[in-house]
Each structure stands twice: as C-alpha cells, then as structure tokens.
C-alpha cells in the first residue's frame, strides 16, 4: 500500500489510501470509529460514516464493506 504525503498545519503527514483494505483491526484508542478513518486520504473516498463496534466487536461499513474488528 502506498502512502500519500500531505501537509497539515505546515507538518508533513503520510496518509494511506482510503478503502484500500477490506479488513482493519482497531483498538479502543481509535474510537469513535469512522470509515474512512483519520489518516486516510479523503479525496477519493465515500462520505464519512461512524460505526458502532463496541457492542459486538466488529462493524461493517455500509459504503465500502470494510470490516473493522476491535482487538483490545
């Protein structure tokens, strides 16, 4: 997966392509969970949607079908 460089407040940030994977492991530090997640480039992605992963440990994005699994 290639990363894309962007500038946020004058600081270079490396972004990963949005919706490039179909499975993501997330932790409690990633909550509240959204797809695409922070750190993903947004220019070629679907609208941001918040996903509830706490109750079952998994959630699937209704736009791109990515599956998120809570690992801790």
- For the cut 60, the answer to whether the pLDDT of residue 38 exceeds it is yes
C-alpha–C-alpha distance, residues 31 and 38, integer Å = 11
Q: Which residue has the higher pLDDT, 54 or 72?
A: 54
Whether 16 and 3 have beta carbons less than 8 Å apart is answered as yes
**What is the overall mean pLDDT for the chain?**
82
Residue 44: pLDDT band (50, 70, 90) is confident
Q: CA–CA separation, 23 vs 25, rounded Å?
A: 7
DSSP 16-31: BPTT--SEEEE-GGGP
Threshold 0.75, pTM exceeds: no
């Amino acid at each position: 997966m290639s990363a894309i460089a962007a500038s946020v407040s004058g600081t270079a940030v490396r972004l990963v392509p949005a919706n490039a994977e179909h499975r993501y492991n997330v932790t409690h530090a990633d909550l509240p969970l959204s797809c695409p997640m922070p750190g993903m480039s947004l220019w070629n992605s679907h609208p941001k949607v918040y996903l509830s992963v706490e109750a079952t440990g998994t959630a699937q994005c209704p736009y791109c079908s990515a599956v998120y699994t809570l690992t801790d």
